[in-house]
């Protein structure tokens, strides 16, 4: 409880620039972020063809503003996807959905030039068969990883996997299924055991997970997947409510259509989280009802589902009044007014590129970052140019986006940029040289 109160005081008294999707247990960036770390997929015929962590200077006061100041390749192509910072923010964890390798980068010794601290290459064996480490989420002294698949049938059945900050395995927590509910109750017709994202609301002892699809699907060519009726049935339709402290699944909610990223409200009086469903193009609200039960319901459409916009990443504002929603297939970002979370209303939309995936919003809401890559076998291949595989940064004045920085990752021979995390010298005191 003291930690939660201290967090509330911190957020109220300090000007933070951190991403709004971070764990509440994490150290926060004060002032302007200095760097964005971009976990990047290797692309055949582009540069060294390897997955890499790309560091970009994003501080306008810096002499190297807008430049790639470091690029660290990890060997081969692992289906680089998501990353997460430890609670002390000294290390950045990154995973490969194909090889199931986990790369732990030291970002505190020299924030401008991360180094590879450790590679975990026994994730599947240690976890008891989990494949595809996806989300890396900071808990006190721990990292909670979500899996996407398993090594038995490479389908969507999977688990949460817990590690220490040092990279040592702790436990595997399997998702509830119809034949093994593990103490959970079904709220509807599904208990598919699929996984994707994880978020927590500490004040409610809530851990919430979403669901996607297994290795068989996410490693398949998108065109082949979309035309395979059986494969299209193998997507998640659930979110699971967990007792965070006990790591115990309590309730399985029906959320059909592959619910992806989860973003929870920040204010202590707001007991709800949002997700978007990739296949049905809807915003969903998971909320605590008047009877103290967690419920889920669709609350808004995202574009025209008939055109398959494919919602991907979302970003909630620090005051819980706005939500950015990206749709990969049409390259659009949309801003919703979520002041009434039960009735979101679209305020704004803008085309960012040929495709768009991740969105990271600064805590003050004045800067919005976008990257483009989804999955190696799903990404569009043409037309190559500044709008295909990119990092783009915009200033937001509350009404419109103004581009301030853009990097064409193909032209720079870097690959396909996926997820972003912010970094700053100020986090580490006198241990490194500061501007």
pLDDT for 256-290, tens place per residue?
Answer: 999 999 999 999 999 999 999 999 999 999 999 99
Bridge partners, 277 (sequence order): 259, 282
**Domain presence at residue 433:** no
**Domain presence at residue 39:** no
Asked if the model's pLDDT at residue 433 lies above 50, the reply is: no
Question: Range of 184's domain?
Answer: 2-34+135-427
Contact, 17 vs 427, CB < 8 A? no
**Domain presence at residue 100:** no
Average pLDDT, the chain: 94
**Domain presence at residue 98:** no
**Domain presence at residue 227:** yes
Quick count: other Cβ atoms within 10 Å of Cβ 136? 26
Asked if the model's pLDDT at residue 42 lies above 80, the reply is: yes
CATH number of the domain where residue 185 is located: 2.130.10.10
Burial of 304 (C-beta count, 10 Å sphere; 0-12/13-18/19+): exposed
Q: In the predicted model, what is the mean pLDDT of residues 346-357?
A: 98
Give me the percent of the chain exceeding a pLDDT of 70. 95
- Total domains present in the chain: 1
Q: In the predicted model, what is the mean pLDDT of residues 162-175?
A: 98
Q: Is the dihedral of CA 264, 100, 55, 108 positive or negative?
A: positive
Span 225-237, pLDDT tens digits: 999 999 999 999 9
What confidence tier does 428 reach under pLDDT thresholds 50, 70, 90? confident
**Domain presence at residue 49:** no
Q: CA 148, CA 169: separation in Å to the nearest integer?
A: 18
What pTM was computed for the model? 0.95
Span 293-329, pLDDT tens digits: 999 999 999 999 999 999 999 999 999 999 999 999 9
**Domain presence at residue 386:** yes
Greater pLDDT, 6 or 236: 236
**Domain presence at residue 68:** no
Residue 27: the pLDDT is 87
């Amino acid at each position: 409880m003291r930690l939660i109160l201290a967090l509330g005081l911190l957020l109220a008294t300090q000007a933070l620039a951190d991403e709004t999707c971070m764990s509440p247990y994490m150290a926060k960036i004060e002032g302007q972020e200095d760097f964005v770390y971009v976990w990047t997929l290797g692309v055949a015929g582009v540069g060294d063809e390897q997955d890499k962590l790309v560091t970009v200077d994003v501080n306008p006061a810096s002499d190297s503003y807008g430049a790639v100041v470091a690029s660290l390749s990890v060997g081969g192509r692992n289906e680089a996807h998501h990353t997460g910072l430890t609670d002390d923010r000294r290390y950045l964890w990154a995973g490969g959905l194909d090889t199931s390798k986990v790369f732990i980068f030291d970002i505190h010794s020299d924030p401008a030039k991360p180094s590879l601290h450790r590679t975990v290459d026994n994730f599947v064996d240690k976890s008891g068969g989990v494949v595809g480490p996806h989300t890396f989420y900071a808990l006190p002294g721990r990292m909670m990883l979500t899996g996407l698949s398993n090594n038995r049938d490479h389908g969507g059945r999977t688990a949460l996997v817990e590690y220490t900050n040092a990279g040592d395995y702790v436990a595997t927590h399997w998702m509830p299924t119809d034949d093994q509910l593990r103490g959970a109750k079904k709220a509807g017709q599904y208990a598919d055991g699929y996984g994707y994202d994880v978020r927590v609301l500490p004040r409610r002892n809530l851990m919430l997970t979403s669901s996607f699809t297994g290795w068989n699907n996410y490693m398949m060519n998108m065109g082949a997947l979309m035309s395979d009726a059986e494969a299209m049935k193998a997507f998640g339709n659930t979110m699971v409510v967990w007792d965070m402290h006990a790591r115990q699944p309590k309730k399985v909610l029906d959320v059909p259509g592959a619910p992806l990223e989860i973003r929870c409200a920040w204010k202590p009086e707001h007991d709800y989280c949002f997700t978007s469903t990739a296949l049905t193009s809807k915003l969903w609200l998971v909320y605590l009802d008047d009877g103290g039960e967690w419920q889920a319901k669709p609350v808004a459409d995202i574009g025209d589902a008939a055109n398959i916009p494919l919602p991907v990443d979302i970003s909630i504002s620090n005051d819980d009044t706005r939500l950015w929603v990206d749709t990969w297939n049409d390259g659009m970002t949309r801003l919703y007014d979520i002041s009434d979370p039960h009735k979101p209303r679209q305020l704004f939309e803008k085309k960012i590129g040929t495709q768009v995936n991740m969105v990271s919003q600064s805590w003050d809401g004045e800067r919005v970052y976008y990257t483009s890559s989804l999955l190696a076998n799903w990404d569009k291949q043409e037309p190559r140019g500044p709008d295909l595989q990119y990092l783009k940064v915009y200033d937001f004045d509350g009404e419109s986006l103004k581009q301030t920085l853009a990097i064409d990752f193909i032209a720079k021979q870097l690959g396909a940029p996926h997820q972003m995390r912010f970094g700053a010298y100020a986090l580490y005191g006198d241990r490194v040289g500061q501007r």
